[in-house]
Structure 1
Amino acid sequence: MLKRLWRIFGPVICALILVVVVIYCYPQGRKHDYQTDKRNAVTLTTANFKSRINKTNALSNKEHRFVPFFGSSEWLRFDALHPAVLAEKYDRNYRPYFIGQRGAASLNQYLGMQQMLPELKNGTAVYVLSPQWFTKKGYNSAAFQQFFSNDQLSSFLNQNETDENSEYAAKRILEMKPEIAMKSQLTKVAKGQELNAFDKTYVQFLAELNKREDALFSPFAAPNNANYDKKVLPYLKELPDEFSYEALDQVAVRDAEEHTKSNSFGIDDRFYKKRLSKKIGKLKGFQEHLSYEVSQEYGDLQLVLNQFAKLKTNVIFVIPPVNSKWMAYTGLNQEMYDATVLKIRYQLESQGFTNIADFSKDGDQAYFMQDTIHMGWKGWVAFDKAVDPFVSNPTPAPSYNLNDRFYSKDWANYTANPNEFK
């Protein structure tokens, strides 16, 4: 009987053991290649978002400084004033490494950070914080799962002690993905229980396996796309050789005038034609009852803040506006938007995160927005004025004063004056 079972399952077991051995024996590191790293830095794909090796390789490059720019879909809005283009044209002392995807928010960003903690420690970061993330229904589980990987999970379990932060994170992961690998260990953390010796050994083994698997397969799963060659290099010739913000403003106005002829919203013609023109009538007033003041996203943001604080990362937060003409057309309430920004800023500033570029009231400026909610043209120029000095001249992180009350439902549901929250 045993021989029979071995004939059936033996080859499968041997194959699995061989795969594990090959993965475990595969070297994790790669030689630094500046051109490859620059291409990875603008490879805005889901696979690259989830991959560890591409991010850690670039961010650990000692000869060339890459700085993580966290966000979502704004990084996909390439034009001549995009941060990647400006950094390349004027050969700055850093290159942005863009970490963001449409639909990615703070919970995904927090888990992605687990893959690169040493690279973030005592470093500099840029974090675009969109109020549109803070919806009442909370983060979409399908979007979360799209950007989630087992490598993130095993890294999280392997590197975190059981505390308020890890408990909250574990609960949120289980909410987003109830059927998940390492569910037993994750459930213990969610309940505030310490992992036993077996759990820790198992998690450590999987963490190492996942890390090496990523190093082995990422060149195939997350190859460079053509963004650098097609969406960065061609724009270089459109910029003046001598840097000045006055000249960049002129480029922004020229490009925006050329690309916003089809509509009265100041929206890029291609975006308007592809995404809005056929349904524009149905969109009038559709955001009248939308609010961002009550959301579980405030707790997810607190995870990110705790991680930055633990790593002593000096970070600048960027709060973008909404196209004011679009806001008026769709009925989005400006007072609600302002209240949301006030709540976000209180959560940041009360804990020592005082580097904030707040553009939330600039949505009425001509050519500031490329579409409905994303900056472009003159918006990118304003972004650069705030972000480039911060990134070009890195300083140690300030003293942070973390408050776990921001994980509470009381704060998630709070709509009064933030300064009165107790």
Structure 2
Amino acid sequence: MKKKLWMIFGPVIVAIVALLILLWTPIHFKTVTTKKVDQASTSLDVRVLKGESVKNAAEKENYIPIIGSSELSRMDPFHPSSMAQKYHWKNKPFLLGNPGTASLTQTLNVSGMSNLKNQKAVVIISPQWFTKKGVPSDAFKYFLSPLQLTGFIVNSDHGSKKMNEYIASRVLELDDSLGSIETDALTRIADGKNITSFQRFYINDLKRNSLQNQDDLFGTVALNDHQKKIDQAASKLPDNYDYKDLNKLATKMAKNHSRENDLQIGDSFYNKELYKRISTYKNAHRHVDYKHSPEYNDFQAMLYLFNQNHTEVMFVIQPVNQKWIEYTGMPKKALPDFDKKIKYQLQSQGFNNIVDLTHEKDPNYIAEDTIHMGWRGWLLLDKKLEPYYKNKKANPNNTKYEMNDYFLTKKWANNTKF
């Protein structure tokens, strides 16, 4: 009887024990290949965003991260990944963002990119992040990476004390479902204290070690594969790069893909997301305000990490569809006021490489839907990205930042005079 039971359950027990040994052993199993890095670079897979292994491998190769949100999934022929492939950019984009990711998620993401030091990055800023309530708790919880959180906790005795206190208190504010040890450790950090020896042992030697092994073993298994989509998009581009010709092509494609509405919105998005309730959006944004938001403080925490790593950053302020602005009745000053405030926060601290796409003379087909870049918007950005991507090493002259703790305060979050 015992022999029969062992024949049935023995292999399962052995497999479980073997898996536990793999997960808890202090030896890390590197499974990330060059092919996996390439696939991950356009996968937009949440495991890549929440992991560390494949991103750190990419930073050793010819990739420069583009940190953003849902606009990254608009993979038309003029998307940076398509253009980089077609026109053989020296370095390629590594896409990091999903619908719902905002500054605090990306702050922890950057904190886990240990090889980003003295290198370049691109950050796409979305005005719609900067609402009065900031990032929704549910969205933050979904994208919160236990691995990145453990890294933040164990490294909280480094870097800016004010930044660490802010991040810890903000995580606690948005996520009340953390483990008791992590919660206690974050509370100590938020109070300006170091974590205890036991907390460090548990979080670093036990939990983080296991999470790292999980990331190494499973972080690139069955990733989303968008390569066919990129190949298809790149095939529609001419062999020789000529900006004027590409601009005409982008306009032509945009017109062909937005025939069923007069808002210059892609037909597939319009029919799926807007058609049945388009009338509800008429003048619905008359009271939109992007000047008061805790997002400014979350954004500042990310800037601190770029400063800490001497990362050279290109910031892209993404446009909003002009016809959508008019249809929804958004106040004329809403975007210019946001633009002025975010640029003040950046430039006053030495972050001067800003591509502002909110004031283009010709705003036609600059967005693929209501608020996301596409077609001509991508092309305008590509023109700036291509020379930036020729060298992935940061220029030390462009990383002489002067950080200001004022931008972590509620006073700044609600300031309208600057």
Query: How high is the TM-score relative to the length of structure 1?
Result: 0.90
- 2:141 maps to 145
1:252-291 matches, within 5 Å, as 252-291=250-289
Deviates more, 1:255-264 or 1:15-24: 15-24
How far does the alpha carbon of each residue in 1:85-121 deviate from its partner, in whole angstroms, 9 at most, with x for none? 000011111110000011100100011122212x210
- 1:215 maps to 216
Deviation at 1:288, TM superposition (A): 0.9
Is the 8 Å Cα contact of residues 121 and 312 (structure 1) preserved in structure 2? Answer: yes
Is the 8 Å Cα contact of residues 363 and 369 (structure 1) preserved in structure 2? Answer: no
How far does the alpha carbon of each residue in 1:304-360 deviate from its partner, in whole angstroms, 9 at most, with x for none? 100000100000000011111111111111202111110000000000000000011
Q: Quick one: distance in 1 between partners of 2:358 and 2:406?
A: 26
- 2:297 maps to 299
Specify the SS of the correspondent of 1:144.
Answer: helix
Is the 8 Å Cα contact of residues 32 and 58 (structure 1) preserved in structure 2? Answer: no
- 2:331 maps to 333
Q: Quick one: distance in 1 between partners of 2:210 and 2:152?
A: 14
2:162 paired with 1:161: no
How far does the alpha carbon of each residue in 1:139-176 deviate from its partner, in whole angstroms, 9 at most, with x for none? 10110111112101101111222710111000110011
Deviates more, 1:270-279 or 1:389-398: 389-398
Is the 8 Å Cα contact of residues 321 and 363 (structure 1) preserved in structure 2? Answer: no
- 1:4 maps to none
Is the 8 Å Cα contact of residues 36 and 220 (structure 2) preserved in structure 1? Answer: no
Specify the SS of the correspondent of 1:347.
Answer: helix
2:199 paired with 1:202: no
State the number of aligned residues: 397
Deviates more, 1:72-81 or 1:189-198: 189-198
Equivalent residue letter for 2:137: S
The structure-2 alpha-carbon separation of the partners of 1:215 and 1:393, relative to structure 1 and needing over 3 Å to count, comes to closer
1:10-409 matches, within 5 Å, as 19-25=19-25, 27-30=28-31, 32-33=33-34, 35-61=35-61, 65-117=62-114, 119-161=115-157, 163-181=161-179, 182-205=182-205, 206-220=207-221, 223-229=222-228, 231-362=229-360, 365-394=363-392, 395-396=395-396, 397-409=398-410
Deviation at 1:387, TM superposition (A): 2.0
Specify the SS of the correspondent of 1:399.
Answer: coil
Q: Quick one: distance in 2 between partners of 1:140 and 1:166?
A: 21
Deviates more, 1:290-299 or 1:382-391: 382-391
- 1:8 maps to none
Instruction: Structure 1: state its 5+ residue gaps.
Output: 1-13
Deviation at 1:210, TM superposition (A): 1.4
Equivalent residue letter for 2:136: N
Specify the SS of the correspondent of 1:270.
Answer: helix
Specify the SS of the correspondent of 2:313.
Answer: strand
Q: Quick one: distance in 1 between partners of 2:32 and 2:412?
A: 46
Equivalent residue letter for 1:48: V
RMSD (Å) for aligned C-alpha atoms: 1.9
Is the 8 Å Cα contact of residues 23 and 209 (structure 1) preserved in structure 2? Answer: yes
Is the 8 Å Cα contact of residues 325 and 364 (structure 1) preserved in structure 2? Answer: no
Q: Quick one: distance in 2 between partners of 1:270 and 1:308?
A: 37
Q: Quick one: distance in 1 between partners of 2:15 and 2:334?
A: 58
Q: Quick one: distance in 2 between partners of 1:363 and 1:325?
A: 14
How far does the alpha carbon of each residue in 1:35-77 deviate from its partner, in whole angstroms, 9 at most, with x for none? 332211111132332122222222223xxx0111000001011
The structure-2 alpha-carbon separation of the partners of 1:299 and 1:98, relative to structure 1 and needing over 3 Å to count, comes to same
Is the 8 Å Cα contact of residues 38 and 95 (structure 1) preserved in structure 2? Answer: no
How far does the alpha carbon of each residue in 1:268-310 deviate from its partner, in whole angstroms, 9 at most, with x for none? 1111111111101111111111211000001100111000001
Specify the SS of the correspondent of 1:219.
Answer: coil
Deviates more, 1:281-290 or 1:159-168: 159-168
Deviation at 1:203, TM superposition (A): 2.3
The structure-2 alpha-carbon separation of the partners of 1:102 and 1:363, relative to structure 1 and needing over 3 Å to count, comes to farther
Deviates more, 1:303-312 or 1:390-399: 390-399
Equivalent residue letter for 2:377: G
Deviation at 1:20, TM superposition (A): 4.4
